[in-house]
Amino acid sequence: MPESLVVRISVVLLQWGERYLATFNAQWGAFTLPMTRLKRLDDPEVPGMATNESWVDAALRVMAEYLGRTTTLKPELALEVPQSQQSQRSGELKRYHFKVFRFVFAEEPKLAPGVVAEWLTADEFMDERRQPISTTARDVFVELRNRRKDR
């Protein structure tokens, strides 16, 4: 598949103790992890030239969206899933490249006004009885658990 058809997604684990922020995505109708596509940035000096936003910048941007603040914390790369293929609601197949970053907080962070969210443990994310939670969020925690077992 051409590289241009790969969707790059920065996923963020906002961790407080043993809990992670689950945010409600109205478009999906489910709780998921904070995530965003990397933006294409136009070069103001060279018309027609663009670059991708960095993975870390995208992680910082999505963290700020849900917490409504800046940070001096540096995200830790927790997981990379270079190519996964998923079927969309439209039935088309897309390839996704995920990088999962972790921000760890000593105290419960306040959320930005209007954010619908709850703090869940990894086990709660993976519990199939708990609904609605996105498949993507569950897959991230399954992959993290599998990688820990491999070590």
Class of domain 3-150: alpha beta
pLDDT, tens digit, 9 for 90 and up, residues 62-102: 999 999 999 999 999 999 987 766 655 566 677 889 999 99
SS3 109: coil
Indicate if the alpha-carbon torsion angle 85, 87, 92, 98 is positive or negative: negative
Helices (H) and strands (E) in the chain, counts: 3, 9
Q: In the numeric block, which tokens belong to residue 135?
A: 């498949």
- At residue 40 the predicted structure's pLDDT band, cuts being 50, 70 and 90, is confident
Domain-wise residue ranges, the chain: 3-150
Q: In the numeric block, which tokens belong to residue 97?
A: 């490249």
Model's pTM, two decimal places? 0.86
